[in-house]
Amino acid sequence: MNSFTLTAVGNLARNPELVAKSDSSSYARFCLVGNDHVGKDEEGAAREVATSLWFVAFGPVGELLARNARKGDQLFVAARVRANNWVDKQGEKQYDHSFIVEGFRFGAPGKLKREEREASRDDVPSRLATRANTVSEPE
């Protein structure tokens, strides 16, 4: 049983980084950023604070993320929290945590993905014209 699990919704701060290890395993690291409303300033304008969290996705999940997710894409991530404790060179105990992805869903595409899709749509008529010119008539 995992003591702590979380669901995070945010946008990718940059493209996921796929790391392939020598033992044929792989993982992807990525950072999600979320903006939270924290009230209003003296002039009445809304104030927001940005929170960023780093995640790690192993195996096929990580490969899928690295292959298909782009900076700015919205992701819904289910993760478990893993404690990372160690003793540093000075002999002091250090405490940290990792967020290990157990599943995810794509949300709204970011600007990069929208531009990629638009470019591929613009390229379709030229590809169709090229195919039409290369197709030969049956004899």
The 10s digit of each residue's pLDDT in 8-35 is 999 999 999 999 877 778 999 999 999 8
Q: Find the mean pLDDT for residues 114-122.
A: 84
| pLDDT at residue 125 tops 70 | no
Q: Which residues pair with 84 in a beta bridge?
A: 96
Residue 130 falls inside a structural domain = no
- Output the DSSP codes for 10-47: EEESS--EEEE-TTS-EEEEEEEEEEEEEEE-TTS-EE
Beta carbons of 101 and 81 less than 8 angstroms apart = no
The C-alpha atoms of residue 119 and residue 121 are separated, in whole angstroms, by 5
How many domains would you assign to the chain? 1
What CATH number is given to the structural domain containing 64? 2.40.50.140
Is 118 inside a domain boundary?
Answer: no
Residue 18 lies in a domain: yes
Does the pLDDT of residue 98 top 80, yes or no? yes
The answer, yes or no, to whether residue 51 has pLDDT greater than 80, is yes
Read off the pLDDT of each residue in 72-92 and give the average, rounded to a whole number: 94
* pLDDT (0 to 100) of residue 34: 93
User: Is position 135 within any domain?
Assistant: no
| Host domain of residue 104 | 5-110
Distance CA 34, CA 97 (A): 19
